Amino acid sequence: SLTGSPVTLKILQNWVPRVSHYFDKEHYTYVGHQIVIQESIEHFGAVVWPGALALSQYLESNQEQFNLKDKKVLEIGAGTGLLSIVACILGAHVTATDLPEVLENLSYNISRNTQNLNMHKPEVRKLVWGEGLNEDFPVSTHHYDFILATDVVYHHGALDPLLATMVYFCKPGTVLLWANKFRFSTDYEFLEKVCNIFNTTILAEFPESNVKLLKATVRKN
C-alpha cells in the first residue's frame, strides 16, 4: 500500500528547444549548469522522457532530503543520460546503465556534460534487465545508496525482468526513486507489484504530465 501525501508539481520548461533533422540537441539547465543532450530518433532510450525531467527537477529542489554528495547512485534505463548528469553535478558516484544499442549516445552525452566539472567520474555500463546481474554487478562489491529509474515502465515485455532488477539492487539502506508517466493499465499493475514488495511512498505528482514520483525501500522483516 502507498503512504504519504504527495506534493503536486509542474515540470518547469527550463530548456530551450533547438531544431535539427537527425539528432535533436536539447539544452537544459539544472543546478546552475547548462546541459546539452543529444537525442537519437532511432531508439526509445535516446529521447528525454518527462519522468527524467521530473526527477531531475525534484533532486535539484530537494537536496537536503536526498543528498547525493559522495553517494553511490545507479541509474537503470538511463537513456540519454540527463538524470545521471544531474546526479553527477549533485556530487554522486554515478553508474549509468542501459541496453547496448543506447550506450554510445549515452556515453557521449555523459562525457560531454561532465568532463570539465570537478566531480566523481561517472561510469557507463551495459545492463539488460534481469540478465547477468550476479556476474556483472556482484552484491559483494556493488552496493548502491540510490537506484534511479525514470519512464522505465511503458508498453514492453520486460516488466518482470525490470521488477527483478529493482529487487536485486534494492538492498537494506538503498532508496529507489522511480518517476514514470502513467498511461496504461499495465503501468498501474506494475505499480501495484512494486507496492507489494517495497515500502512505497508517492513523493510528488505532476498532473499535467501524468507523472508520479515514487520512493521505495526494502521492507524490514
Task: From residue 37, give the alpha-carbon distance in Å to each of 5, 43, 193, 198.
Answer: 33, 14, 33, 33
24 pLDDT tier (thresholds 50, 70, 90) = low
Q: What is the mean pLDDT of residues 164-191?
A: 95
Residue 31 domain flag: no
Give the total number of structural domains in the chain. Answer: 1
Q: Which residues contact 153 (CB under 8 A, 6 or more apart)?
A: 159, 162, 180, 186, 187, 190, 191
| Cell 543506447 belongs to residue | 102
pLDDT value of residue 58 = 96
Decide if 165 is inside a domain: yes
pLDDT band at 13 (very low <50, low <70, confident <90, very high): low
Establish if 40 belongs to a structural domain: no
Q: What is the pTM (predicted TM-score) of this model?
A: 0.90
Residue 151 has pLDDT above 50, yes or no: yes
CATH of residue 136's domain is 3.40.50.150
In a domain, 34, yes or no: no
Q: Is residue 7 part of a domain?
A: no
- Which residues does residue 196 pair with via DSSP β-bridges, in sequence order? none
Please answer whether residues 204 and 7 qualify as being in contact, where contact means their C-beta atoms are separated by less than 8 angstroms. Answer: yes
Q: How far is Cα 40 from Cα 23, in angstroms, rounded to an integer?
A: 5
Other beta carbons less than 10 A from residue 99's beta carbon: 18
Give ∠ CA 65-194-220 in degrees, rounded to 5: 65
pLDDT of residue 132: 95
> Residue 14: which pLDDT band, with cuts at 50, 70 and 90?
low
pLDDT at 150: 96
CA dihedral 83, 199, 133, 147 (to 10 degrees): 20
Report if residue 169 sits inside a domain: yes
Q: Supply the range of the domain harboring residue 184.
A: 47-218
pLDDT digits (tens, 9 = 90+) for 191-214: 999 999 999 999 999 999 999 999
For 118-129, the pLDDT digits (tens) are 889 999 999 999
Residue by residue, DSSP assigns 54-94 as HHHHHHHHTTTTS--TT-EEEEES-TTSHHHHHHHHTT-EE
126 domain residue, yes or no = yes
Would you say residue 4 has pLDDT above 80? no
pLDDT over 90 percentage in the chain: 72
* Within-domain flag for 210: yes
User: For 7-15, what is the mean pLDDT?
Assistant: 73
Q: Residue 173: pLDDT above 90? A: yes
- From residue 62, give the alpha-carbon distance in Å to each of 76, 109, 203, 215, 216: 21, 24, 11, 13, 17
Q: What phi, psi does 43 have (nearest 5°)?
A: -130, 140
Helix, strand, coil abundance in the chain, percent, nearest 5: 30, 30, 40
pLDDT score, position 46: 66
